[in-house]
Structure 1
Amino acid sequence: MPITLERPVDTPVHDISATFRGADASSLRVSGRLTGPDGAPVCLVLGGISSDQAVASIGHETGWWAAQAGPGCALDTRHLRILSFDFLADQLAPFPSTDDQARAILALADAAGIETFSIVGASYGGMIGLALAVRAPERVEKLLVISACHRASAMARAWRSIQRDTVELALQYGDGRAGLDLARRLAMTTYRTPIELESRFYDPEPDCRDASGVVAYLEARGRDFAARVTPQRFLALSRSMDEHCIDPGRLECPVTYLAVTEDQLVPPEQIAEAARSTPMGTLKRIHSLYGHDAFLKEDAAISAAITRFLGG
């Protein structure tokens, strides 16, 4: 039986789809969503690898960025139209590049009759935003890149290679989801900071396993991720992040980079390098104990950054 979402009458939502030809010449279907009033300025919103087209909360569906997207939020769907989509993953062999994702978005925009738009991209979504701005500079008005830059760091690639090896080994033994569970646990230690984990989970009796301790926390995060994502999808998107590389000197639109000083995965020094190489690049910094996950946890700081970006 089809499920009908309860949608507020003041938040128009349109599901959209398009077909485009992948780099391997295959014909691929991509799906997305437009949230907000017809005729309003369009902002493409992209997040990390576990995000999808449900950016704002609609009825009983909770958006992955509900703190930033919706009526009265920084991405205010009363006055702004959010374009979002579901990332390509293992349906494109051997994996989709960030440029492939950009071409998929352009196909959706064409299908919806959207000529130009601004972009807010965080983590993997920031990589895709940069790739799109290089591919179609005439379509991108301006770009906000949060915790992402022109290429993956050597340390980030090293961490992700271990995660992929864990999943691939588990697949050989017939339990890919167990490997994905472990890979996500490791990933969480790279997203967050040592100071945050120490302050939350310091255990004066380390031999006594606390039900709410750091091990239980990582187990819960791994279990949840493995229940929502397939091993094949994870492997494809992980490779996509590692292979991302664009020339920031080719960016023609204004680009605001937001770096988190404590981010282990995308170091602020690397983001500063991208900003210096971007013709109309601006660098902003914030502090956060949440490190790379600041875009999901630091509601006030991220809201302020988006509001400044859209108002500029």
Structure 2
Amino acid sequence: MNLLVTGGTGFIGRELLKHLTTYSITLLTRDEQTARKTLHHTDCGNIHYVDSLDSFNDLNEFDAIINLAGEPIADKRWSETQKKRICDSRWKITETLVELIHASTKPPAIFISGSAVGYYGDQQDHPFDESLHVNQDTFAHNVCERWEHIALRAQSDQTRVCLLRTGVVLGEGGGALAKMLLPYKLGLGGPIGNGKQYIPWIHILDMVRAIVCLLETEHASGPYNFCAPHAVTNAVFSKTLANSLGRPHFLFTPKWAIKLAMGEASCLLLDSTRAKPKKLTEIGFNFSFPHIDSALKNIVANSR
């Protein structure tokens, strides 16, 4: 199977490529030399690197597309410039891919495109699945809503579209957990705000296994919540992480301090999202790490 992959050098993409060694991969990257170095231990000779889609008139040669490209959403404050960078890095590449799919006489059978649980916004402590329709005027929702709308234009009798509404991806060597570990290791970790907000987390291994599951499940289409079946509150997550590291857990970060430090982007830490992966379980996907304690113990053990 021939795959076109974007975002392959990111935290999720790097792990995903380890699970695609039997596939022929064309990897879109802005910097081929850096990508080759980053993927040195992953590339089994099955990856072909391209730095632009300009040479493609169509995507007839590909069986599937996995679109993970996008500026990290939590790395910087959401200035107007950063907001534009976040949007453009998602929308423009997706629009180009959709146009190339439409130009194909034999288009890829599946288009897997990124999104995030930010689509749902703050849902407090109410559990919900992919059937929840949201109409909000927040930046996170608007980014995801338009991103998904663009991707869904590729849907046809020949091409199915799957949307990855991704939660907080946990793993060693990157993602949200990499930023959390140091203060917790120093005994400075603790819940954020009142700690009652739900975190829709997922282990990196389940993240990439679920992508492969969508790739290989011919009837899978539409939005999928990429989060473990057992979301936990920030307080429970924080205490579990401290325990897994054998560190104390008594500090907390007040809500006002997070808002002061992060501005509008503070919603990423303060919104409560109790998303359920109903559609993944319906297609038979089994989570290796459905509970937060075993997930964090695995990651901490592997990082030592």
Q: Please, what TM-score do these two structures have when normalized by structure 2?
A: 0.32
Q: Please, what TM-score do these two structures have when normalized by structure 1?
A: 0.31
